[in-house]
A and B are shown apart, each in its own frame.
Chain A
């Protein structure tokens, strides 16, 4: 029956207007919070935008944060296309970073460009393994992937704490950090790259990995929408019975999709460790895996959307820390609240305004369905 369907929106409404309305509501709710503690919301918003986008340094940090979020956003999106909700990006990023770190420690003295393929491989392999195990448990044992990936986040955290404190710690110091990677392994920083072509910018953590993230977007887009594997992946995600009918093994696809998802999350380690920290530390991935879920949801699990929402969340990270620095009464915790409100409206309540918009735009619907027999 054609009436009451209600989920058919013109593309531009679904892709542009709806996210904008959601962000608008999030800003409004944040403004109320800021008003409630007696600050001026307009000024606060000004600090936030200024901090994130007002200077080359701000933009650099925003893009640096966005880099990690693109990877974890893509990771969640790939799993999402296979019908899986991968909550374990956090743990997969953490363990992927372990792989990157071990590779860097082993490859001391190699030039970065020679080591990079191997460190990428190591990070991807570690992350993939951490994703594939919950995938296997889902596919062949029926343990729900949401539960198991959450559990794997805790296991990853405990495992890393053990390794950092007992095994990988640099001898003769208190803080759980590995020895520094060989300087030759450090990825080029963005200010160095731009400096080489004659552009002077401030030093920020933004590095070569940002381009890797963009390349990963293209790769995911190509894989999901233009290959047989992607077709099989989307079929499993949309209708498992039809996948079986088509000769695709849903079980195998679930394991592989979770592995690819974990591999993408593992790339966070390239950005944070080989790019910025130059040693293995604890909790370098803090929150990037979780925020990736919101990034993927808001970006509609599409690489273009993911880049845009990663930029938004990167700007919130960066602008938020500027904001709490500038306005003493706005603590970093309150900034987390503001980020949470954005996640709430853009992620969890993503479809709240959909029915209303659908009613508004209904006359524009295509004339395909008929009012025929039930």
Chain B
């Protein structure tokens, strides 16, 4: 060891041996051993709360393990802070980008590695080095563009470049595809393969099994803080991985019968929403939703779907056009009060539940009646009947499997998936005629996804009209009877379930194709 000879390349880039971590009573990682082969792409999957993020945070120095060792290239390493991790060649690309939006790409790359008090020399050196990296990995990013002006796909490349610029040999990517359109995902995977070809090691955290199958060499499955299965990707399949994740046979798709659409309950004509700066966030949307059908809205997040839902739910005013909800017309220049919309039989599960659908500081039972507090059935004289509400909430938690079943627990102490089930339960148990639902299964476990999909289909079969917004193409394809595709605030196409396929929708989402499948003129996905 001490003779100074060049050590033979170690077969494992990273070894986590017997990692154990508790947060109070929560045992987040139980004796986890994980070995990542050098120069491979290794997938890490597991449900929410399985311990993936804790494990990665230990590797990246955010937390210290209670027990266990970390070996980097065969040597025991002590990683106390992210800068220790960086020094050992471990870089991380977070799910939420850590970029200064007002800085240029180059300034962001240099941040924390400016190279001296005066910037001039540092900038020149950084530019040369980054250009070399860009060439080596075909990672094209305009260095002098402001980060805020770049699409998310490019922002993510900036994050990857940033890690490489700091000399990362091992790259951890946390749910990297959550914000990307399908073509951007393809592009990301091309980059990952290029990195692998150059000998870098990649650890990919995701819950999308398709991506695991597409790009990884090996995959480890975490459940309840333990590694419950390890597969070579070539020798396994999605069903096997999913079953390991949930600990039982998983249903990946729910059987869907034929729909029998009835009368139109919700329709829009040229519906537009303009923001405070006068920019159209939603432009000329026209569609109908009938009784007994699910209309899916596909699109990369931030392409007008949120504004569509919020305008229909009465939270944003209509700037042009109109929509009709169960015979009530809302014209341009006005909005329907959300309370009126509810009274007409509309329920709304918003995309951003933490911002809109719950008050985190309230106990669960108060959130279980948010929006319905004017309901006479909940009142006793001038008072709200809180004991009654608590009892109702307990029932709702039972039926929608919200855990822990404690109506008085503060909402922020529930996991994201359980908050989502609480909101879904609140809105679905009102038995609305029209349900607007955004990202119903974001952050929700595989087992619960199946349950939520069943409930949505059940509502459809009972003659309800459902407008479903989701960034998950699988979800759209599994549930929708008709599919609207949105890009840049417009509905760029409407497809019947039979004629829809992932490739076509993907291209439409990216703005590369219109309804007829022809490429758009000048069709850059900006």
Contact = CB atoms under 8 A, between A and B. Distances in A.
Contacts of A234: 359, 362
Size category, B interface: 35 or more
Given A245-B315, A372-B49, A372-B415, A238 B338 contact: no
Given A247-B339, A247-B371, A3 B48 contact: no
B362 A372 contact: no
B313 A227 contact: no
B26 A367 contact: yes
B257 interface: no
Given A228-B373, A238-B361, A245-B357, A374 B174 contact: yes
A371 B49 contact: yes
Interface stretch (A97-105, A269-277, A358-366): A358-366
Contacts of B254: none
Interface string A341-373: 000000000000000000000110111111111
B26 A371 contact: yes
A239 interface: yes
B7 interface: no
B24 A367 contact: yes
Contacts of A373: 48-50, 52-53, 175, 207, 443
Contacts of B48: 370, 372-373
A226 B369 CA distance: 13
A235 interface: yes
A231 interface: yes
Contact of B415 (A228, A242, A370): A370
Nearest to A372: B49
Chain A binding surface, main DSSP class: loop
Nearest to A244: B315
A241 interface: yes
Nearest to A374: B53
A155 interface: no
A1 B26 CA distance: 11
Contact of A246 (B355, B370, B383): B370
Interface string A197-222: 00000000000000000000000001
B413 A242 contact: no
Nearest to A247: B339
B68 to A, nearest CB: 15
Chain B binding surface, main DSSP class: loop
B355 A241 contact: yes
Contacts of B207: 373
Contacts of B384: 226-228, 231
Nearest to A249: B337
A232 interface: yes
B383 A1 contact: no
A328 interface: no
B414 A368 contact: yes
Contacts of B95: 374
Contact of A228 (B50, B315, B338, B379): B379
A3 B96 CA distance: 19
Given A226-B386, A373-B443, A1 B338 contact: no
A65 to B, nearest CB: 33
Nearest to A369: B413
B50 A227 contact: no
Given A232-B373, A246-B338, A366-B409, A372 B359 contact: no
Interface string A172-211: 0000000000000000000000000000000000000000
A36 B337 CA distance: 63
Nearest to A366: B413
B204 interface: no
A247 B342 contact: yes
Contacts of A228: 373-374, 379, 384
A2 B23 CA distance: 7
A242 B356 CA distance: 4
Contacts of A241: 355-356
A247 B338 CA distance: 4
B53 A372 contact: yes
Contacts of A366: 409, 413
A222 B380 CA distance: 13
Nearest to B338: A247
Interface in B387-425: 404, 406, 409, 413-415
Contacts of A242: 355-359, 370
B51 interface: yes
Nearest to A225: B386
Nearest to A364: B24
A239 B356 CA distance: 8
A3 B63 contact: yes
Contact of B409 (A244, A245, A368): A368
Contact of A370 (B26, B314, B366): B26
Contact of B54 (A231, A249, A363, A371): A371
A245 B371 contact: yes
Contacts of B340: 247
Contacts of B4: none
Contacts of B383: 222, 226-227
Contacts of B57: 1
B25 interface: yes
B221 interface: no
A232 B406 CA distance: 23
B460 interface: no
Contacts of B26: 2, 367, 369-371
B373 A245 contact: no
B28 interface: yes
Contacts of B54: 1, 371-372
A231 B409 contact: no
A95 B349 CA distance: 46
B9 interface: no
A324 to B, nearest CB: 43
A226 B378 CA distance: 11
Interface in B314-346: 314-315, 337-342
A369 B415 contact: yes
B404 A368 contact: yes
A136 B427 CA distance: 33
A368 B53 contact: no
A369 B416 CA distance: 10
A245 B374 contact: no
Contacts of B374: 228, 247
Contacts of B94: 374
B382 interface: yes
Interface centre among A245, A248, A366 (most CB of B within 10 A): A245
B28 A371 contact: yes
Interface string B14-56: 0000000101111011000000000000000000111111100
Contacts of A239: 355, 358-361
B330 to A, nearest CB: 15
A246 B24 contact: no
B514 interface: no
Interface string B282-320: 000000000000000000000000000000011100000
Nearest to A230: B384
Contacts of B409: 366, 368
4 residue pairs, one from A and one from B, having the closest CB atoms: A247-B339, A371-B28, A372-B49, A368-B413
25 contacts: A227-B383, A228-B379, A232-B373, A234-B359, A238-B359, A238-B360, A245-B338, A245-B370, A247-B338, A247-B341, A247-B374, A363-B24, A367-B24, A367-B26, A368-B404, A368-B409, A369-B26, A370-B28, A370-B48, A371-B28, A371-B29, A372-B53, A373-B48, A373-B50, A373-B53
Given A235-B362, A238-B359, 10 more contacts: A1-B54, A231-B369, A232-B373, A235-B359, A239-B355, A365-B24, A368-B414, A371-B29, A373-B52, A373-B175
